[in-house]
Amino acid sequence: MKVSDLLKVHVDDVALGGKAIARHEGRVVFIDQGVPGDDLEVTVTRVKRSFAEARLERLERPSPLRVPAPCPHVDRCGGCRLQSLSYPEQCRVKERQVGEALRHIGGLTPEVRPLRPAPEVFHYRNKMEFSFHPGERGEPVLGLHERGTFDRVFALETCLLPSQLSVEIVRATQHFAREHGWRAYDPRLHRGVVRFLVVRHLTLSDQCAVHLIATSDEIGGLETWAREVAGLSPAVRAVTLGLNPSRAGVAVSEEERVLLGEGTVTERLLGLEFEVSANAFLQTNSRQAEALYTAALEAARLRGDECVLDLYCGTGTLTLLFARAAREAVGVESVPDAVERARRNARRNGIGNARFVEGEARRILREWATKARPEAPTPDLVVVDPPRAGLHPRVVARVAELRPGRVVYVSCNPATLARDGHDFGALGYTLVEVEPFDLFPHTPHIECVARFERAIG
């Protein structure tokens, strides 16, 4: 098998991450598009000893599981790569992927509960990031990245994941940017001004914030644009300009200027209110996040007299929810702004038995272990909600040294959950059960709530 070979293959499954899996002469072939049961013609793009990668050229015979994709951008956009697979089958695939990851990566065989499907399969996202890019004639193009690229953007006609208001804001901004000659940032040449448009329309509170991220404030008609965007709906409560002159291709601002409103919006989750700023993390599917957090609370099995330690607590969402059910909750977070927001959220909700510690989890746990910090808690329960990379092995070890009776792990990556689950197992913790959740229909992403129990002794 060589690069550029043309192959005819039958798709057997979908891999964790969303690529189709086929086999050709004993070698696994990962294909950028395809659903189980498809017969495809593909071009080989990469060859390794045990696998190859290929690009779809032609759908020769569609699978009975294939459904018409409603999005006009499905062939260009890399976001909803499972859109051509029926939603019930998407859920079955994701549930199976969780069990396989736990077995094959971690050697773990816990009870995997049925995956909890999303109540809404479209218009569920409360936050979307859109990118600017110079067009062929230098005009600003605002939309989403083409599949598999970082430097190509197509103009957005519509998107079925966010609210209709979010799409209207993108269209209005696209028109305004062209009319006023905004200079789009080029990620290869690192020149230009406007970089990203972030729209956060919170589902449960119906509050919307619009964040323009640029290298400078040299943007024509900026205040007029803010007023026009705010005029689209009373839901628009905040419009900001975030400055990010770095070369990093992330929609995060280093400095923020409020153009309209107070700069923040508020979401309501399980009876609590959470203030959300431009850079703050909040689960992007509010309705399903309530189900996820409810499952985490149920997995904790609290009596009410426990001390809960919440690592990677962000703006305190889980910390405050656990504080309502426990004697005390302590959140640890490395981002100073997030810690300040968490403390404000505690005051907003009148929760006095939660406190927050600023610092990287690995360092804070080490200092607590060596008694370098006098305020070290003695947790009965540890909650972890790490990024996709999962936990550092030292964090796993430090958590085990604290000897909590139970660990609740909220995961956005089954592969790193499996790896960390193996590490916990070596330190005396048994992975008892995992419940998967689909927060992101039509995408390959999977969330899980996992419960670990410490062996007696």
* Annotated binding residues for S-adenosyl-L-methionine: 283, 312, 333, 385
Percentage helix, strand, coil, to 5, in the chain?
25, 35, 40
DSSP designation for 136: T
Q: Is 402 helix (H, G, I), strand (E, B) or coil?
A: helix
Pull the structure tokens for residue 151: 């430097």
Report CA 118 to chain centroid distance, whole Å. 15
The 10 Å Cβ neighbour count of residue 119 is 11
Listed in sequence order, the residues at least 6 apart from 206 whose beta carbon sits closer than 8 Å to its beta carbon are 235
Q: Which of 82, 202, 225 is nearest to 142 (CA)?
A: 225
Alpha-carbon gap, residue 79 to 129, rounded angstroms: 12
Secondary structure E strands in 25-151: 27-31, 39-47, 51-61, 111-112, 127-134, 140-145
- One-letter amino acid identity for 163? S
Return the bridge partners of 128, or none: 199
Q: Which of 402, 414, 423 is nearest to 450 (CA)?
A: 414
DSSP string, 72-105: TTTTTBSS-TTTTB-HHHHHHHHHHHHHHHHHHH
Pull the structure tokens for residue 219: 């943007």
Q: Which of 334, 384, 324, 315 is nearest to 354 (CA)?
A: 324
Any catalytic annotation for residue 71?
no
Return the bridge partners of 255, or none: 243
Q: Choose, from 80, 208, 412, 448, the residue flagged as catalytic.
A: 412
Q: Which of 84, 97, 91 is nearest to 38 (CA)?
A: 84
DSSP string, 348-389: HTT--SEEEEES-HHHHHHHHHTT-STT----SEEEE---TT
Residue ranges of the binding site: 283, 312, 333, 385
Helix axes 393-402, 414-426, angle to 10 degrees: 50
Q: Are strands 140-145 and 127-134 parallel, antiparallel or unpaired?
A: antiparallel
Alpha-carbon gap, residue 32 to 59, rounded angstroms: 13
Residues with a catalytic annotation lie at 412
